[in-house]
Amino acid sequence: MRKLMIPVVVIFIALLLMSLFVVNEGERGIVVRFGRILKDNNTEVARIYEPGLHFKVPLFDRVRTLDARIQTMDDQADRFVTAEKKDVIIDTYVKWRISDFGQYYLTTGGGDKSTAEALLKRKVVDNLRAEIGSKEIKQIVSGPERKVAVEVVDEPAAAAEAVVNEIIAEVAPRKEVEGQRDQIMADVLAETKISAMKDLGVEVVDFRMKKINLPDEISESIYRRMRAERESVARKHRAQGREKAEVIRAQSELEVAKILAEADREARVLRGTADATVAKIYADSFNKDPEFYNFLRSLQAYEKSFSSKSDILIVDPNTEFFKYMKESNGVN
């Protein structure tokens, strides 16, 4: 009897362990019996097992745990066509979580996350494509206008923004329209919420457009225009610098000319004053002693005339020039 008890106890313990299952925090569990999800009594709602320790029927029940946390679907960017038949490349992400675990399990073929995201992405892309197809590029890339307390103008940034706006105007040559980027995201979120909950049992928590790009050929055109605009601004600054340099140089030359002219005028005035003073001194000296003045001037003339030994001077000795050489007292 004791020998039979041991196998019975082992089988009992094994069945007990097979009857227990644990649902971790952040997960929810559903039990599938004979290929069908167990539902609550008298309802068509799947029985959901909260985190903790639970029991099941061994051998017949199979437990499937599903992640109840918020998931992020961040896939590759897609190309969309606007109302002007122009292409834009939009990168998006979606925040979602499972709301109806039973429907989610059945729709995704056993709770496969990749299948769920593929189906959800299709819904998001379809709704976004419908919204983008009815909007212009300016409406897509611009949000609602926001007033700021202080406006700070950054010339390079303003110039670059002007170039981008000009390119967009060429791509979408229509009148000014109000930006509706936020409204587009809100509409896509509302439409996706309804269809995702109905078809997948998934609650879409949030939807955002991370990045909106133009195709490579248009982006390259924008970069070329921005580069040309920067070069134009640089040339303008250089021309203004050269113009200011010429003005400064001309002002400096004018100032130098004024200073030199004033100095020359003062020098001429001083020289004239000195010459007048010298002439006055000579005149005063001549008036005081004319004979001595004549004698002094004759000596200066002798000095200059006979300064070179090689010179030959042919002069009549009886001329007035030799007056003081013939008579030492200077009297005839």
Is the confidence at residue 172, as pLDDT, over 60?
no
pTM of the predicted protein model:
0.55
Q: In the predicted model, what is the mean pLDDT of the chain?
A: 80
Looking at residue 187, its pLDDT comes to 92
pLDDT digits (tens, 9 = 90+) for 280-331: 887 887 787 777 777 777 777 777 776 666 767 676 666 666 666 666 554 4
User: How many whole angstroms separate alpha carbon 207 and alpha carbon 204?
Assistant: 8
Eight-class DSSP state of 47: P
Residue 68: C-alpha distances to residues 38, 82, 117, 124, 197 (Å) = 18, 37, 15, 21, 15
pLDDT at 179: 63
Q: How far is CA 91 from CA 30, 54, 86, 179, in A?
A: 35, 43, 17, 18
Determine contact, residues 36/74, Cβ cutoff 8 Å. no
Can you read off the two tokens belonging to residue 315?
A: 């002069």
The H-assigned helical ranges of the chain are 2-19, 101-107, 113-133, 137-141, 155-171, 181-200, 216-288, 290-305, 323-326
Residue 216: alpha-carbon gap to chain centroid: 19
What is the rounded average pLDDT of the residues 167-190? 68
**Distance between CA atoms of 177 and 308, rounded to whole angstroms?**
104
Q: pLDDT tens digits for 212-228? A: 888 877 767 777 888 88
Share of the chain above pLDDT 90, in %: 30
CATH topology (fold) of 71-145+156-214:
Tetrahydropterin Synthase; Chain A (3.30.479)
* Whether the predicted pLDDT of 128 surpasses 90: yes
Domain range list for the chain: 2-67, 71-145+156-214, 292-326
